[in-house]
Amino acid sequence: MTHIDILALEVGQEIGSESFTFTRDSLVRYAGASGDFNPIHYRDDFAKSVGLDGVLAHGMLTMGAAVQVAVNWVGDAGKVIDYGVRFTKPVFVAPNEGSLVTVLGKIGAIDLEAKTVRIDLTAVSNELAVLGKAQAVVKL
């Protein structure tokens, strides 16, 4: 487990980044795990019939991938005590090449008394922010 000295942290400090590739295969696996079989996540014809540009990743898949940056930094998923996002743009997943989502984490706030740190996460796909106000609070 990683030991983090809360006194050595600064607001704005980067804590890490990670890139995730979503493919059509990963969407099918996520649908099976989550039970979300909405055809906008696997059928281009259906997605286009409801006004979308194509198949898009499940929002919760994007959300779950993004928090991994905070989990990696703190070293234990159980130390994430709060997490929330706003979905701002869909992640369209191309049939062959998939879609890349890049997540960067920065320290947004430090509470010395509670021994918590808020991690602000920026998730980008195709040069667009796909999550807004993505924040995880970790207990040190």
d(CA 60, CA 17): 19
**27 found inside a domain:** no
Gyration radius of the chain's alpha carbons: 17
* CATH at 66: 3.10.129.10
Give the pLDDT confidence score for residue 25 in this predicted structure: 96
Domain containing 108: what range?
A: 6-21+57-139
Q: Answer whether 80's CB lies under 8 Å from 71's CB.
A: yes
What's the half-sphere exposure (Cβ side, CA atoms, 13 Å) at 108? 14
**94 found inside a domain:** yes
**84 found inside a domain:** yes
pLDDT digits (tens, 9 = 90+) for 5-52: 999 999 999 999 999 999 999 999 999 999 999 999 999 999 999 999
Residue given tokens 């191309």 in the structure block: 94
The pTM (predicted TM-score) of the whole model is: 0.93
Give the pLDDT confidence score for residue 2 in this predicted structure: 61
**72 found inside a domain:** yes
**45 found inside a domain:** no
**26 found inside a domain:** no
Give the pLDDT confidence score for residue 3 in this predicted structure: 85
Closest CA to 120 of 111, 131, 1: 131
**49 found inside a domain:** no
Number of domains present in the structure of the chain: 1
Q: Which helix (H) or strand (E) holds 27?
A: helix 24-34
pLDDT digits (tens, 9 = 90+) for 90-111: 999 999 999 999 999 999 999 9
Residue 1 has pLDDT above 60, yes or no: no
**47 found inside a domain:** no
Average confidence (pLDDT) over 58-62: 98
Bridge partners of 119, per DSSP, are 107, 136
